[in-house]
Structures are given as structure tokens and as C-alpha cells.
Chain A
Amino acid sequence: MPIALYRIDDRLIHGQVVVGWGQPLELGFIVLVDDEVASSEWEQELYRMGVPPEMAVYFHTVGDAANQLAEFERNPKPGIVLVGDIGTMQRLVTASAGQVRTVNVGGVHHSPGRVGRLRYVFLTPAEEEGLKEMAAHGVDVTAQDVPSARPVPLAELLQSSPGA
């Protein structure tokens, strides 16, 4: 079963991921890719307690995750690969050498320097370039917060503003 979703979400594991995507996709596992969380037992425990017992959670650095993507793809149940920012996904795309073919921008919230593109996506110029770079490498980048929403193609995302 392939990885069902490669998602960028600055809240990492939360209700939208566990319930919103987890139930319709019948997720068996989440791979949380974050160098900082991968080195913190306390952070891992925090996120582990946020998922139901039937769902496994694996914590990896970018390098470790890239090395194990093929193994995750062979898992009989679908899973999500989750990162907290665009830079981390860029590193994963590069390190995995073509294994990441789609990227879901699920939640990049407001912070200084970011421009609003959708209600749940705010981007700096560097982050926009990061998304374009992934697309240039053949990755299909779309924004979509929940399964019932329409996936917004990258070109449209970069032209959008939340009030439009």
C-alpha cells in the first residue's frame, strides 16, 4: 500500500490529521519527520498520546525517513508522512530521490514575513520558491486542508489571497 499522503502541516499531529484524514483513509500509521522531535523522547510521547492505539507513529529524521520510505510503502496499511515545514519537505524530496511524487500543503499558518494565500496557507517568498522547486522536480504540489476540500493546484495557490 503506497503512502497515502505526504503532508506539510505546522501543527504536525492534530485533529485534522488524526480524525479528518485518518478515518477516511483508514490510516495504519503516521511517519512524523522532524529532526528535533526525532531527538526528543518527551516530544515523541506527546505526539504518541495524540493518536488512537490502533495507529502506529514513527519518528524519524529526514535522512532516516528517506532511507525507509520504500519499506513504509510496503506496509499493508496506508500511512501519512508528515512534516512541519516546507524546508523539511524539500529536504525529504531531495533525499528520497524521486520517491515523493505528491505533496499536500495542509497547514502553514501566519507568521511575520508570510503572505496569506489561503485561510490555512501563508508563505514567505522563500517558501514559495521551495514549493516551485519541488514542482520543478516533478512533484505534484497541491493545497488541501481536509479530504472534502478541493485540492488547490500550486499555480492557483500562489495567485490566491484568503479574501478572494
Chain B
Amino acid sequence: MSDGVEQETPVRAIVAGHGTFASGIISAVDQITGRGGQFVAFSNTGLGLDDIQGTLAAALDASHARVIFTDLPAGSCTMAVRRMIRDRPGVLLVTGINLSLLLDFAMQDDADPAHAVQAALDRGRASMVVHGA
């Protein structure tokens, strides 16, 4: 029962990538599940490596998120996060994500980010199928 006060959704993860990748995929999660508020979007557009690393570190600290999703294994966001998490044990980086993976993560209520990430990873990998071959 709502008490009339809107509850802010706790941020569970940051999604980072090229162009509008992050905001786009979060928008898709929100359209399907209404749970897009669990994610913070970050774009590397126009930023050098130090700026990416600094901004992502600040976003991680502000949100207390324990998971960062990125688009490309070799992308600058991935590089920046890999540097950043050297000094942040327990923060997980998942690269090469897709919508199925992010949906699965969004729909889980598993409090343990490692469990949630592993399950989402399995779902994301399994979603890539060739038809008509």
C-alpha cells in the first residue's frame, strides 16, 4: 500500500558505453519492466580516459552500486573501469552486455550482486541464437 510518498529506486548498477548505448538500453529495460530506475547511464562521448574514469568513480561512490555494465570489452569505458576497480574489491564489471542480460539483472531481487550478475550473464549468452541456419 502506497503511503503517498514516492520511494526512490535504489541504484544497483551503472551502464556505460558509446554514444547513447547506455540510455537506450536502460530505456528498453524500463519500457519492458518499469525497472529502469535501478540503473545510471553513462556515455563516453567527448571524454578522455581520465574524465571517464573520474566520472564513473564519482557515479559509483554516489550511487553505492556494486556492478558496472559496459558495451565493448575493448571500449574506453571498460578500460577506465578496469583501472578503477583495482582499488575497489567487490565491484563487478560485466562487458559486452545485451538487453536480455540487463533485463534478467533488473528482474532479480538477489541481493548478492555476484549471484545476480552470473545468472544474468547466463541468460544473456543463451539469448544469442541463430535462426534459419
List the interface of chain A (C-beta within 8 A of B): 10-15, 17-19, 46-47, 49-51, 107-111, 119-120
A13, A19, A111: the one within 8 Å of B79 (CB): A13
Give the distance in Å from the alpha carbon of A109 to the alpha carbon of B46 in the complex: 6
Interface flags for B50-92 (1: CB within 8 Å of A; 0: not) read: 1100000000000000000001111110110011000000000
Q: Give the size of the chain B interface in residues (CB under 8 angstroms).
A: 17
User: B48 contacts A11, CB within 8 Å?
Assistant: yes
In Å, the complex CA distance between A108 and B46 comes to: 9
Residues of B within 8 A of A19 (CB): 72, 74
Residue of B nearest to A55 (CB): B74
Q: Are A50 and B74 in contact (CB under 8 A)?
A: yes
**Does the CB pair B18–A109 fall under 8 Å?**
no
What's the count of A-B pairs with C-beta under 8 Å? 50
24 residue pairs from A and B, CB less than 8 Å apart: A10-B48, A10-B49, A11-B48, A14-B74, A14-B75, A14-B76, A15-B18, A15-B71, A15-B72, A17-B74, A19-B72, A19-B74, A46-B79, A50-B73, A50-B74, A50-B78, A51-B74, A108-B48, A109-B51, A110-B48, A110-B51, A111-B48, A119-B46, A120-B46
Query: A120–B78 Cα gap in the complex (Å)?
Result: 19
Which residues from B are CB-within-8-Å of A111? 48, 50-51
Instruction: Determine whether B107 belongs to the interface, using a CB cutoff of 8 Å to chain A.
Output: no
Closest to B18 in A: A15
Contacts of A51 in B (CB 8 A): 74
C-alpha gap A136/B72 in the complex (Å) = 38
* Residues in chain A near residue B74, CB distance under 8 A: 13-15, 17-19, 50-51
Q: How far is the CA of A78 from the CA of B86 in the complex (A)?
A: 34
How far, in whole Å, are A108 and B50 apart by their CA atoms in the complex? 12
B76–chain A nearest beta-carbon distance, Å:
4
| Cβ contacts under 8 Å, A120 to chain B | 46
Q: Please report which residues of chain B, range 16-64, place their CB below 8 angstroms from some CB of chain A when the two chains form the complex.
A: 18, 46-51
Interchain CB contact under 8 A, B46 and A14: no
Least Cβ distance of A52 to chain B in Å? 8
Name the CB-closest residue of A to B83.
A46
Residues of B close to A119: CB separation below 8 A: 46
Task: Indicate if the CB atoms of A15 and B75 lie closer than 8 Å.
Answer: yes
Contact partners of B76 in chain A: CB under 8 A: 11, 14-15
B50 cross-chain contacts in A, Cβ below 8 A: 111
17 further interface pairs, Cβ-Cβ under 8 Å (given A13-B79, A46-B82): A10-B48, A10-B49, A11-B76, A13-B74, A15-B18, A15-B71, A15-B74, A46-B79, A47-B79, A49-B73, A107-B48, A108-B48, A109-B46, A110-B48, A111-B50, A119-B46, A120-B46
> Nearest Cβ distance between residue A135 and chain B, in whole angstroms?
24
CB distance from B36 to the nearest CB of A (A): 24
Q: For residue A120, which residue of chain B has the nearest CB?
A: B46
